């Protein structure tokens, strides 16, 4: 398996190697994540992109240890982590934190905002006075006023505020890795921008590595350094975000990109068939995108395309990758508007 290399001087904070996750209920098995690998560095954001059923949220759960992988490993600062969170080292358990999709629903509704943020501190035995000071500090980091919002209950604040409180709570554990699982999907556009800005700032200033999970390519483009595109639990393509969005090598990335609506920009060619993807209940053979792919051949159904390097930091899993130079010129808006700005 080819892997995107990291510069030797910067050891990765998180490494995920050959991750496989299956869900079994009764006699049926869902192959949710199939042989996915990636690495993350401090102060950088890796986005996992894909549609429903792509396995992106399952990967997040496996990384924090809420879901036990069938095989593969999760390494935190080079140390292998147990599949189940409970068996992980208590001292480093808080190092991977998560922000969920539902802003208000991920805060304890029976506690005040302050108490919610203080929980992780309390659990680590931080003294009461110190907790209060730290909570104020954290609220300031996420741009909220401690005096007005601190004493409120989650039901009394807006979605955007609640999501920032969630970020503050995650930061209270001083994590090395922050997972944002569709963290802005439920928010209104005008509020989404605020939360994205807070997340970016946290990555820069606290030097955390962020795993940003989203279905929205436009959001991903503005927030992540690296992007990994997933389809039915398979990693299609991984590499620098701007590079991949400007010139996708995988047909799925291209199709996904073409489907994103943007004000004032007409949609491009769909670039895919109308077919449904294969059932996740059958052990995958070949490329999962083949039925929807316009370039698929018989080989795509038989042989799983290996992840192959197509540039210094780019890899694609496709038997017939798109000609990157040709694609770049076929998406004129990128270069044209980029130049305009």
Partner 1 sequence: MSLAAEAGRDVHAAVRATRRRRRLDTAATTVAAGWLIVLAVLTLVSIATPLLDPYFQDFTSAKLEPSLAHPFGTDGNGRDVFARTVAGAQNSLVVAVITLVVGAVGGTLIGVAAGYFRGALDNVIGFLIDAVLAIPALLLIITIVSFRGPSITSIGTTIGLLMIPAFARVTRSIALTVRERDYVKAAVLIDTPTPRILVKAVLPAVAPALVSYAFTAMTAAIVAEGSLSFLGYGLAAPAPSWGGIIAEGRADLATAPWITLAPALALAATVMAITTIGERAKERYS
Partner 2 sequence: MTATAIEAPALEVEDLEVNFISGDKVTYVLEGVSLEVRKGEAVGIVGESGSGKSVLARTILGIRPRGTVVDIRGTVRVSGEDQLGATEAQIRSRAGALASMIYQDPMRSLNPTVRVWKQIVEAITNRRRVPGDEARSRAVELLRSVGVPDPEARALAYPGEFSGGMLQRVGIAAAIAAHPDLLLADEPTTALDVTVQRRVLDLLEEVRAASGMGLVLVTHDLGLLADRTDRTVVMYAGRIMESGPTSIVASEPAHPYTQGLLAAIPRLTGPIQRELPAIGGSLPPLSAPRAGCPFAARCPLAQDRCAISRPPAVTVAEGHTAHCWAVADQQDEQEAAK
Tell me which residues touch partner 1 (CB under 8 A).
Answer: 64, 66, 85, 90, 93-94, 96-98, 100-102, 105-111, 119-120, 123-124, 166, 169, 172-173
Give me the 75-114 binding string for partner 2, x by CB under 8 A, dash otherwise. ----------------------------------------
One residue of 146, 193, 295, 309 binding partner 2 per CB under 8 A: 193
- Give the separation between CA 183 and CA 227, rounded to whole angstroms: 16
> Could you give the C-alpha distances from 217 to 91, 101, 197, in angstroms and in order?
36, 16, 16
Two structure tokens written together for 146: 């401690």
Taking a C-beta distance cutoff of 8 angstroms, is the pair 292, 231 a contact? no
Q: Tokens representing 98?
A: 């998560």
- Between 175 and 248, name the residue whose CB sits nearer to partner 2: 248
**Under the criterion CB under 8 A, does residue 51 sit at the interface with partner 2?**
yes
Give the one residue of 188, 205, 302, 323 binding partner 2; rule: CB under 8 A: 188
Considering only 93, 152, 200, 320, the residue that binds partner 2 (CB under 8 A) is 200
How does 278-312 read in b/e, with b if 16+ C-beta sit within 10 Å?
bebeeebebbbbbbbbeebeeebeeebbebeebee
* CA atoms of 298 and 304, how far apart (whole Å): 11
Contact region for partner 2 (CB under 8 A) — 14-22, 93-101, 122-130, 192-200?
A: 192-200
- The contacts of residue 84 (CB under 8 Å, 6+ apart) are 65, 68
If the CB atoms of residues 42 and 96 are measured against partner 2, the closer one turns out to be 42
| Binding footprint of partner 2 on the chain (CB under 8 A) | 51-52, 158-161, 188-194, 196-197, 200, 215-219, 221-223, 242, 245, 255-257, 259-267, 270, 272, 274, 276, 333-334, 337-338, 340-341
């Amino acid at each position: 398996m080819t892997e995107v290399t990291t510069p030797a001087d910067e050891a990765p904070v998180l490494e995920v190697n050959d991750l496989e996750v299956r869900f079994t209920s009764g006699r049926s098995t869902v192959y949710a994540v199939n042989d996915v690998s990636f690495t993350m560095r401090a102060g950088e954001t890796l986005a996992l992109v894909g549609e429903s059923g792509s396995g992106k949220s399952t990967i997040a759960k496996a990384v924090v240890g809420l879901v036990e992988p069938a095989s593969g490993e999760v390494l935190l600062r080079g140390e292998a982590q147990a599949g189940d969170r409970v068996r992980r080292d208590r001292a480093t358990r808080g190092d991977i934190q998560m922000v969920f999709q539902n802003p208000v629903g991920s805060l304890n509704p029976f506690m005040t905002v302050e108490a919610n943020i203080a929980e992780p501190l309390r659990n680590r035995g931080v003294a009461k006075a110190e907790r209060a000071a730290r909570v104020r500090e954290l609220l300031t980091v996420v741009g909220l006023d401690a005096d007005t919002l601190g004493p409120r209950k989650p039901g009394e604040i807006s979605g955007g505020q609640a999501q920032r409180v969630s970020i503050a709570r995650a930061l209270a554990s001083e994590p090395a890795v922050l997972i944002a699982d569709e963290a802005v999907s439920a928010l209104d556009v005008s509020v989404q921008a605020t939360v994205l800005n807070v997340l970016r700032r946290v990555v820069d200033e606290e030097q955390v590595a962020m795993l940003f999970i989203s279905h929205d390519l436009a959001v991903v483009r503005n927030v992540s350094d690296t992007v990994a595109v997933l389809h039915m639990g398979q990693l299609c393509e991984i590499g620098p975000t701007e590079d991949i969005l400007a010139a996708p090598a995988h047909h799925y990335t291209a199709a996904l990109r073409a489907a994103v609506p943007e004000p004032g920009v007409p949609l491009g060619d769909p670039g895919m068939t109308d077919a449904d993807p294969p059932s996740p209940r059958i052990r995958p053979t070949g490329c999962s995108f083949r039925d929807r792919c316009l370039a698929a051949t018989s080989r795509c159904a038989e042989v799983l395309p290996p992840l192959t390097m197509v540039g210094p930091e780019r890899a694609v899993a496709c038997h017939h990758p798109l000609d990157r130079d040709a694609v770049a010129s076929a998406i004129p808006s990128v270069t044209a508007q980029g130049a305009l700005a």
